[in-house]
């Protein structure tokens, strides 16, 4: 079995911990609890005929990713960069953050995820896509679970390719 370290990154309050909990435990909690430091867990996923152990790090949110300790990124194979589809303030640093992450994980897989899809209509989601300077990979809802498994399956496929 292959094992890969993946980090959930992004600003505070975008739903990183909720995505973590939905993926690992299949649960959602409406209470907002800020992450202090880092929370780590793993889950084995089936990708085609292979098993992949994803060691998932949920790190404390920062407005800018260059404030996250670089040591968190040692040995990382992938980053899921999360922003809140319903809060345009979380779009501000996307391009700068993605460029920074590309530098520090040299060659690793980065997926840009718009979370809280359940709070938007399809028209509003289209408007968000038009506002962003770079396209995002998938829109998820940690609350309903929509596209969460798909996100991790697609990420797993990219990590194994």
Which tens digits make up the pLDDT trace of 97-151?
999 999 999 889 999 999 999 999 999 999 999 999 889 999 999 999 999 999 9
Provide the token pair at 81.
């960069």
Per CATH, the homologous superfamily of domain 2-160 is P-loop containing nucleotide triphosphate hydrolases (3.40.50.300)
Compute the Cα dihedral for 86, 88, 90, 95 and give only its sign.
Answer: positive
Question: 2-10 and 76-84 as β-strands: parallel, antiparallel, unpaired?
Answer: parallel
Mean pLDDT score of the chain: 91
CB of 82 within 8 A of CB of 30?
A: no
Cβ(135)–Cβ(110) below 8 Å: no
Question: Each residue of 54-90: pLDDT tens digit?
Answer: 999 998 877 566 677 788 889 999 999 999 999 999 9
Global model pTM greater than 0.85: yes
Q: Across the strands, what pairs with 79? A: 7, 110
CA gap 109, 33 in Å, rounded: 28
Q: Do 23 and 152 meet the contact criterion of CB atoms below 8 Å apart?
A: yes
Task: Give domain limits for the chain.
Answer: 2-160
Query: Closest Cα partner for 150 from 55, 45, 74, 72?
Result: 45
pLDDT at 64: 61
Q: Which helix (H) or strand (E) holds 129?
A: helix 122-131
pLDDT per residue as tens digits for the range 16-56: 999 999 999 999 988 766 776 788 999 999 999 999 999 99
Instruction: Give the per-residue pLDDT at 35.
Output: 73
- Radius of gyration for the chain, computed over Cα atoms and rounded to the nearest angstrom: 15
């Amino acid at each position: 079995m292959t094992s890969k370290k993946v980090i959930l990154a992004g600003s505070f309050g975008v739903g990183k911990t909720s995505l973590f909990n939905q993926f690992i435990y299949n649960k959602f909690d409406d209470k907002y609890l800020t992450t202090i430091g880092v929370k780590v867990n793993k889950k084995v996923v089936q990708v085609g005929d292979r098993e992949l152990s994803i060691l998932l790090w949920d790190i404390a949110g920062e407005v800018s990713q260059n404030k996250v300790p670089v040591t968190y990124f040692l040995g990382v194979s992938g980053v899921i960069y999360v922003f809140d589809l319903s809060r345009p303030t979380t779009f501000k640093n996307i391009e700068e953050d993605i460029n920074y992450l590309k530098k520090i994980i040299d060659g690793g897989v980065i997926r840009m995820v718009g979370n809280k899809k359940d709070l938007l209509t399809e028209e509003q989601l289209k408007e968000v896509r038009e506002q962003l300077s770079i396209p995002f990979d998938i829109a998820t809802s940690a609350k309903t679970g929509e596209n969460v498994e798909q996100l991790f399956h697609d990420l797993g496929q990219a990590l194994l390719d």
